[in-house]
Each structure stands twice: as C-alpha cells, then as structure tokens.
Structure 1
Amino acid sequence: MKKSRVGMRIGAGVGILFLGVLMGLVLAASLGQTGKLHALLGIGESEKSQARPEPVSAAVAPREAASGANQVCLPDFGALAEAVDPAVVNISTTETVKGRTSWRGFGFGGPGGPGREFGPGQEDPFQEFFDRFFGGINPYGDLKRQSLGSGFIIESDGYILTNHHVVKDADEIRVIFRDESETQARIVGKDPKTDIALIKVDVAKPLPTVKLGDSDKLKEGEWVLAIGNPFGLKYTLTAGIVSAKGREIGAGPYDDFIQTDASINPGNSGGPLLNMKGEVVGINTAIVAGGAGIGFAIPINLVRDVLPQIRSKGYVSRGWLGVMIQRITPELAKSLGLDKPVGALVSEITQGGPAEGSGLERGDVIVEFQGQKVERFNDLPRMVAAVPPGTTVELKVLRKGKEKTIKTKLGELPEESAAEAQGEQGKGEDLGLELQEITPGMAKGHGLPSEKGLIVTGLDPRGPAAQAGIRRGDIILEVNQKEVKTLAEFRKIVGETKKGEMMLFLVKRQEGALYLALEKP
C-alpha cells in the first residue's frame, strides 16, 4: 500500500514537471524566442533564418569563427603584426643630467624623482645641506639617465621616424632592431611644435620599411593596431578603435590628434599606429595621466607636411600671418550676424606683422584661407603654418555681414629658426631656453610690461638657465650687459661666450628687474 502511494506521488510529480516545461516552451515561443527554443530541442533551422556575422572591412583576412553562426569575425592582427614588426624599432637614449641641483632625482620629487612633489612653501629637506656644504652642486657629479621609446623605419637606407620628446635631450641614441642587433643613430632634424623627429642609422644592407597611409581617410570606429616598447617590453601589440579625430589636448599650437583606445603607455612614444592595411596612420605620442583607454597619435598626414623640411634642413619654416584669433562661440556668432559659429575671429593685428596694411581688420571673421574653409578657429594656424614664408595668400573674410577677399604675403614665424633646432642638437651647448621676440602687438595683446627683449616661452627644468633662476615668462633684456632685442643678437652673444665662462643676464620679472648669472655649459 505504501509503495503504491509513493508511486502515485512520483507519477504526479513527473506529470506536474512535464506540464510546467511544456507551458514554459509555449510561453517562450509566444515571446519570439523560437531560435533558442529550437536550439534547446535540437531542431534545425533553414539557412535563411540563421543569423549571419556582420562583414568586417579589412585588408587583413578575418579570423574564422570557432563555432556558431552568431560569432563576430575579427581582423587577423597576428598576420598584420608579423608583416610590420621588422620595421618597428626600440630606441634607447642616454642623457647627461647635470650635477647642479640634481639631488631632486633621488626620490624627492621634481622631474626625475619617484618621490612626492613638494607643495607651496615646502622645501626639499636636503636643499640647505647641499647649498651650505657643496655650493648647490651635487657631490656625485653628472649622472647618466636612460630612456626608452619606439620608432619605425620609413626608408630602407636607415631613416626612422619617432617623437621629438623621445630624442630631445639625448647625448647618445641607440636603435635596437627586431633581431636584437643594435646600432648608433644621429638626429637628422626635428620639429618640437609637432613633436616629430627624424633619425638615421648607417646600414650595410637595405632595411624593411613601413608604408605611410592616409590619416584623412581614417574613420571613427575603425580598427587600429599600436606597436611599441611600453615600459621596455619589446614589440608589444595592442589593438583598439579610432575613438575620435581632431583632438586638441594642449600639447601645442597644431594639435590635431587621433584618439584611440588601443593601449598606449610610456615607451610606446614614437611607435606606429596602423590601419588594417598595415599602413601607418599615426605616431603614438601621448596619454591621459590616470586615464584608461585614452591615447593620442599624431596624424601621419601632418608628418608628411613637415617631413621634407625636417630632412632637408633639420627644422621647419612656417608661414606667419601676424594676427591674434579666437574661437567663435554661439553667442559671438549671433552678435556677428553669423548663421553658425564657424571661422576664426580676428581680435588683434600684430604691429609690424605681415597682415598689417593688408586690409585685414580687428573683428573680421576669416572663413577661408587659400580656398580651404576654416571651420574651427584652430584650423587657421595649421593652414598658415603649412604655407612657405613669402607666399602671397588669399583670405575670405566676413565683415559686418559682407564677404571680402584680402591678399597678403606671409612672413616667417619668428620663433622658428635653424639656430633653434641646431642649438638643441648641440649636446650640452644649449641653455635649456625657448625664446620669442616681442613685437609691439604681442606686448599689447598679452599685457607684457615691455616691448623690448626676448620672452622665455619654454624652459628645461634641468637646464642651466632654470638652475640659474630664470623662469618661464621672464623677459631677457640684456646678456653680458649688451641689449638683446632679437634672437640673432642673443645667439651672437651666446656664441661668442666660451665654454665655462659666466654669462650675466638682466631679466625683467613682473614689475622688477634682476641680474642672474650662469655658466655656459
């Protein structure tokens, strides 16, 4: 009797379970889950009803799906890397860090130190010690510091592209190839404004090269591959997509970066960003500190524009219009009678500059340059810079709602010169300064206290000038008690000073002036 009752209970339970499964299947079918239902029951579907993978546009053959019709195919990054790897190089540089005040490199903050930075009013605890007993000189003497970067071969006779910041302060540059062989390299030329450098190695046989692509054709969402040596880990590959184009990150006046989520880390600088054809579309350059999946590359088309000058004369001469411009906001556009906020608004005409006397006026909106539309205000500096000095150019402007055409001859951008580039290549002769001549228009537009002298626009914190107390924004009035108004005058005085001799600078800072002395390295 007990057995029969147990059997009845089991039978009833199985019946209820079967009924529940049957109701669930009917419900799934009514909700449109027939595909999963058929898969569950092992029922085949017709070819037409099966999901197909989206096509991937790539020159590299896509990987075959392991299983399942719904699996998305990816490009074969391995084949692409194998083809390009031999033309990618590791760049190792050695830099001499001067003994003066170099204790900051021993873990107490500063550019080279792994320790914390000192806040306002906080001093390095060893500052007084070194000043008192060693006169501000590090008793350990000059130090050698090594850095790593990447590059890629563009010509079989040994020409290699990389970032300017990778080789900027190098005393020695060594290139390590894929087969672990290495050789010394020299700088052919560089352009700090765009962070591009061209180096050369001597070769006994032709080297493998990469092909330069067209970064203008690159689309957001397109696959890209980065190759480099992050943290010294040789030939690391990372893949991602183009996140955005035309990014401005405050790196320089010609910012036009490709943003990618392909992982870029220290040591990747100078390496190639490749499209799926294996063509270089960018030079990996920068990252957002603390950010994840946010890297930036210089578009290869920008490199193409300046490469001939870098190779032929070691630096880049840029056109100069001589105007100050600003972005047009929606509010400004409305007040200027524009349909939309496009173009570059002229806020100042530089006195003595090329545009003075051309007919260009403050308040004009430049909407075209040499037939090219100026969509964003920062398009204009890049357009002007790409035209050789001395060229007569045509601008289309809007003035009080009316269109006008103006012609003017471009000058040469003042801070660009052969001596500036060669000084950086001087290996110890550079004072660690970036200077710009002050024009009356610049003095007025920027509220500078003087129309004479040279303004310090950049400063190497490890250089002699910084160690002597010169600051960014200082105006150099005299060197060795001789007045300086131009870069040529400054270079002449510095060139006449012998190595090891003291140089006396008269510097204007805010409302006062002071003398500073430094030893020529």
Structure 2
Amino acid sequence: MKYSNNIKWFALGPVILTLGVFIGSHYKEPSIQLGPSVARAAKIDPQNVFVKIAREQTPAVVNISTKQKIKADGRAGIPDERMREYYDRFFPWHREAPREQVRQSLGSGFVVESDGYILTNSHVVAKADEIIVSFGDGHDTRAKEYPAKLIAADPKTDIALIKIDVSRKLPTISLGDSSKLQVGEQVMAIGNPFGFAQSVTVGVVSAKGRVIGAGPYDDFIQTDASINPGNSGGPLLNTRGEVVGINSAIYTGGMARGNIGIGFAIPIDSVKAIYDDLKKGKVKRGWLGVAITNVTKELQDAMGLPDSKGALVSQVIENSPAEKSGVKRYDVITGLNGEKVLSSSHLPRIVAAIKPGTKAVLEIIRDGKTISISVNVGEMPTERKRLAESKRNEDLGMAVENIPAQLAERMGIEGGAGVVVTSVAPGSPAGTAGAIAGDVIMEMNKKKVRNIQEYESAISSAKPGDSLLMLVRRGRNDLLLVLKLPKEK
C-alpha cells in the first residue's frame, strides 16, 4: 500500500514499514477491563487536570526499542547493476557475501493489563527481531529493561500487542470511549519523542473520521497535541485520564520531519474491537467480497438515486459471500444490519466488525427499488494468500487492472468485460508471449475473463510450466497469444 509522502509514521529510526471503526451493534466487549481510571474518581480543578493525569498515567507508558537484522549487498559500492554482473563474472574473488546490518528504532506503548500486556503500533514492532521495553522518565539509569514478545500485529489498523514477563503487577491505563470524543475536546499525548522518555503534550481534538490513505479502515482522530517521531504507539488521553486513541502518524506538508500541529491517532474503539483476537494471535474480520466505490453526484443523477450516500458495487468477486447471496454489480448498498452506510469507506469498517459465519442483512437499491438481501458473512482472506497471488503475477512480468468502462466502449468490448494490461517487463513470460501495455485480455484457455478475479483464477488453476492460450483485444483487432508459465524454482 502506498502512503502519502506528507504522512509520516513516526517510530523513531529507519524502520521498514510493512477494514478500523467498529461501531454500533457489531461492537463486542473485549475481555480487558475497561473500568473508570483513577483520574475520574474525584472532581479536579480544570487548571490542574493534566498535571494530575500526567502524574498518574505516565508510569504505565513505556519506551519501546527494536532491532531488525537486514542483509546488505556486499557489492553496495558498485551502483550500476550491469557493472556488478561484470565484476561477478570476471573478478569473482572481489564478490563479497551479503553483510548483516542492524536497524534500530524507538517507539512508545502503554500497559493495559498488569501482567505485562502492552499496546503499541504495528509499524513499531511488526518486523523487529528484538523488542525491548523499559519504564521510567529517563532519569533513572538503573531502569530495568524487559525483552518483549510480539503477540500479534495487525498492519491494516496499525495496532500491535506485545507482552513482557514480570513478577509484579504493573500500572495500567484504562481504555475510554472514542465514539464520545467531541471536536474541540482537550486531550493529552504521552510518549517517547526523539527518545525523550515520557514526554507530555496537550492539545485538542481537531477533527474526527479523517481518511489519510493509511489503509482500508481509516478513521483517524486528528489532534494538534504535539506528536513527533518516537511517539508512535503512545496513548492519547481525555480529561478523565482514559485512552481514547493510539498516536500513529503526523502530517508534515512534505517539508518538516517533525510536528506542525497535525497529528493522527487510531480511535481506541478500533482497538477494543480486536483486542481479544490480538491476544489469540490473529485478527479475524468479516468479508463480503465486493469492490465498491463512492456514489458521486454524476452517478447519482445517471442512476436516478435519491442521494449520494451508500457504496456502489463495481465488482462482485467470484465464489464470495456477496456473489452467493445474489449481490450484483451496480447495486448500491445503503445499510447493513440496520446501520446506514454513508460511503464506500464506511462499509468495510462495518463489515469487518462482524464475526465470520454470521448472517447479516444488506439494504440495497437496485434499479430504483430498495430490497433486502441476507448474506452469510465470510472471513477475510489472509494476507499470505494475497501475497502469493501477487508474487505469481510478478513472475509473469505483467500487471493488469479491470478495464475502465470508457476504454471498453472505445474498443468495442461488449459488457465492459476483460482486464487491461498496464505494464509488461521486457524478457518476461508475458513479454515473450507478445503482450504489450494496452492489450485487453478477454479469454484464457477459451474461458471468458471478465475481471481480475477471473484472470487470477485462470492463472492459479494452471500448473507451473503450462501454456495458456490468451485472446486479447489490441485496438480493434483480436489476437491469440500463448503465455508460458514459469516453472517452479
């Protein structure tokens, strides 16, 4: 996934980085205790509220340092790849073995269970070979360090759970209710910016529901409380001393590396919804199997819709729960289990919160009529499966996308079916077959290819070394190409 260059994910150090609001009736109470924090026990002078919160909650905020071993090319001093091949061939004694380097990073976290469970960001710890947790404000040189174990990391929400083994009960911070946060409400951020342990900053909630391109479940709290590299994973607290968010990113305007008053935190309700799954080591999410888009004003007018709310189905994945329940392309999903679907970014968050195997009811507008469809929600496919499919397409040396409607119309393709080739690597199997960018693949082995899912199905059903007969449309002409699949290495 690509992030905007203006958004910085701020675990301190060059860490290599690898659907979010769970609301309404789908919310499941986690096993973690969510009782009132100490700060709520008595009335507090507003002028001293943050003094009290800082004193009572900082002991539960930890510093997280990580180490990651990476392999560096021993020929790094030779920048040109062709020159590297030349040296490898004629001067093999100059070839060095890959060197192992260690990348270090700093982040923050906070204790949520007294026996050592700690929440932080996925990008702080997910790829680390070693995780070290320490307590204290940095003044105590005798502060003990604890090796930590990664229990689970969820890159889609940028949340991770780690654990340390301790012989004493640790101080904890209570989790609040981020749905009750209001714009303008005061908040406090605690963390480890630039390695300055347990630093405290204060600001307000600048906005809610921000979508910044981080992932499919974007629903960030925006705050002007100063957040900097090293704050990743630290808590954002309300005036009752409860965690309402996990600090995760900052906006820099493409210029500065540090804070300019625009920071983002993951709503704590998102964390509570998957906490029990994190403790079990794997997050399970509901899945429909549709590609969706927003209803624009133009689409609203063209389709005769009453408003621009809802999620327009642009594609239904083969053998998915949506297909099996009768969802069709051009359906507009306006509700799920009685909850209104406001946009295409809203639907994935609602679906993800539903337990796989649960029946749900979709409210749909189809051909101007509102209908209800019952669907048996599936489990979202694992990232490993998606990566395997991506790797196979990479081996073919060809990238494809669903064909845009305008291109299909211009090329005279009925029904807009097919996938368009967007790039071909020279010398790859696709290049050898004669495919070029702009080709539209309409059939593979005499079977229609209407979308990416059917294309990938045709590829994955063939064996390594097999040949696939492809019918492609190039301009206004149809061609037959033979794609030879690479053999397994």
TM-score between the two structures when normalised by the length of structure 1: 0.63
Residue 263 of structure 2: which of 286, 295, 309 is its match? 295
Structure with bigger gyration radius: 1
Residue 65 of structure 2: which of 92, 112, 122 is its match? 92
Q: Secondary structure at the match of 2:57?
A: helix
- Tell me the distance in 2 between the aligned counterparts of 1:406 and 1:445: 28
Q: Determine the structure 2 residue equivalent to 1:247.
A: 210
- Tell me the distance in 1 between the aligned counterparts of 2:288 and 2:149: 34
Instruction: Give the unaligned 5+ runs of structure 2.
Output: 1-41, 394-399, 405-417, 422-455, 467-481
Do 1:99 and 1:137's aligned partners in 2 also have CA atoms closer than 8 Å? no
Residues 1:169 and 1:59: Cα distance change in structure 2 (over 3 Å): farther
Q: Secondary structure at the match of 2:321?
A: coil
Do 1:222 and 1:241's aligned partners in 2 also have CA atoms closer than 8 Å? yes
Residues 1:182 and 1:365: Cα distance change in structure 2 (over 3 Å): same
Residues 1:267 and 1:102: Cα distance change in structure 2 (over 3 Å): farther
Q: Secondary structure at the match of 1:286?
A: strand
TM-score between the two structures when normalised by the length of structure 2: 0.67
Q: Secondary structure at the match of 2:46?
A: coil
- Tell me the distance in 2 between the aligned counterparts of 1:140 and 1:186: 28
Q: Determine the structure 1 residue equivalent to 2:277.
A: 309
Q: Determine the structure 2 residue equivalent to 1:458.
A: none
Residues 1:482 and 1:362: Cα distance change in structure 2 (over 3 Å): closer
- For residue 512 of structure 1, report the CA deviation from its aligned partner: 7.9
Residue 360 of structure 1: which of 327, 337, 342 is its match? 327
Do 1:103 and 1:138's aligned partners in 2 also have CA atoms closer than 8 Å? no
Q: Determine the structure 2 residue equivalent to 1:264.
A: 227
Residue 146 of structure 2: which of 167, 176, 183 is its match? 183
Does residue 397 of structure 1 match 2:360?
A: no
Residue 227 of structure 1: which of 190, 193, 210 is its match? 190
Do 2:293 and 2:313's aligned partners in 1 also have CA atoms closer than 8 Å? yes
Does residue 238 of structure 1 match 2:205?
A: no
Q: Mapping of 1:439-478 within 5 angstroms?
A: 444=402
- Tell me the distance in 2 between the aligned counterparts of 1:513 and 1:245: 51
Do 2:74 and 2:97's aligned partners in 1 also have CA atoms closer than 8 Å? no
Q: Which amino acid aligns with 1:384?
A: V
- For residue 339 of structure 1, report the CA deviation from its aligned partner: 3.4
Q: Determine the structure 1 residue equivalent to 2:52.
A: 79
Q: Deviations over 1:83-123 (max 9, x none)?
A: 1000000000011011236949xxxxxxxxxxxxxxxxxx9
Q: Determine the structure 1 residue equivalent to 2:288.
A: 321
Q: Which amino acid aligns with 1:144?
A: V
- For residue 215 of structure 1, report the CA deviation from its aligned partner: 0.4
Do 2:73 and 2:98's aligned partners in 1 also have CA atoms closer than 8 Å? no
Q: Mapping of 1:39-188 within 5 angstroms?
A: 60-63=44-47, 76-100=49-73, 103=76, 124=79, 128=83, 132=87, 141-178=99-136, 180-188=143-151
- Tell me the distance in 2 between the aligned counterparts of 1:151 and 1:162: 5
Residue 370 of structure 1: which of 331, 337, 340 is its match? 337
Residues 1:97 and 1:310: Cα distance change in structure 2 (over 3 Å): same
Residue 160 of structure 2: which of 197, 214, 217 is its match? 197
Residue 208 of structure 1: which of 150, 171, 195 is its match? 171
Residues 1:513 and 1:89: Cα distance change in structure 2 (over 3 Å): farther
Q: Which amino acid aligns with 1:176?
A: S
- For residue 129 of structure 1, report the CA deviation from its aligned partner: 6.0
Residue 378 of structure 2: which of 411, 420, 437 is its match? 411
Residues 1:131 and 1:61: Cα distance change in structure 2 (over 3 Å): farther
- For residue 130 of structure 1, report the CA deviation from its aligned partner: 9.2
Q: Deviations over 1:157-200 (max 9, x none)?
A: 00000011101211110001116221100011111111111000
- Calculate the aligned-residue CA RMSD, in Å: 3.5
Q: Deviations over 1:5-40 (max 9, x none)?
A: xxxxxxxxxxxxxxxxxxxxxxxxxxxxxxxxxxxx
Do 1:284 and 1:296's aligned partners in 2 also have CA atoms closer than 8 Å? yes
Do 1:60 and 1:80's aligned partners in 2 also have CA atoms closer than 8 Å? no
Do 1:272 and 1:284's aligned partners in 2 also have CA atoms closer than 8 Å? yes
Residues 1:512 and 1:228: Cα distance change in structure 2 (over 3 Å): farther
Residues 1:84 and 1:309: Cα distance change in structure 2 (over 3 Å): same
Residues 1:348 and 1:277: Cα distance change in structure 2 (over 3 Å): same
Q: Which amino acid aligns with 2:351?
A: V
- Tell me the distance in 1 between the aligned counterparts of 2:74 and 2:211: 35
- Using CA pairs under 8 Å that are at least 6 residues apart, name the structure with larger relative contact order, 1 or 2: 2
- For residue 76 of structure 1, report the CA deviation from its aligned partner: 3.4
Instruction: Give the unaligned 5+ runs of structure 1.
Output: 1-57, 64-74, 105-122, 421-432, 451-474, 485-510
- Tell me the distance in 1 between the aligned counterparts of 2:304 and 2:392: 34
Residue 346 of structure 2: which of 379, 395, 399 is its match? 379
Q: Determine the structure 2 residue equivalent to 1:464.
A: none
Do 2:363 and 2:372's aligned partners in 1 also have CA atoms closer than 8 Å? yes
- For residue 413 of structure 1, report the CA deviation from its aligned partner: 1.4
Q: Secondary structure at the match of 1:285?
A: strand
- Tell me the distance in 1 between the aligned counterparts of 2:230 and 2:86: 35
- For residue 337 of structure 1, report the CA deviation from its aligned partner: 2.8
Q: Deviations over 1:240-279 (max 9, x none)?
A: 1111111111111111111111111111100001111110
Residues 1:230 and 1:334: Cα distance change in structure 2 (over 3 Å): same
Q: Secondary structure at the match of 2:357?
A: coil
Do 1:318 and 1:416's aligned partners in 2 also have CA atoms closer than 8 Å? no
Do 1:59 and 1:277's aligned partners in 2 also have CA atoms closer than 8 Å? no
- Tell me the distance in 1 between the aligned counterparts of 2:313 and 2:392: 19
Q: Secondary structure at the match of 1:239?
A: strand
Does residue 278 of structure 1 match 2:241?
A: yes
- Tell me the distance in 1 between the aligned counterparts of 2:353 and 2:96: 45
Percent identity reads: 49
- For residue 435 of structure 1, report the CA deviation from its aligned partner: 5.3
Q: Secondary structure at the match of 2:72?
A: coil
Q: Which amino acid aligns with 1:153?
A: V
Moved more, 89-98 or 178-187: 178-187
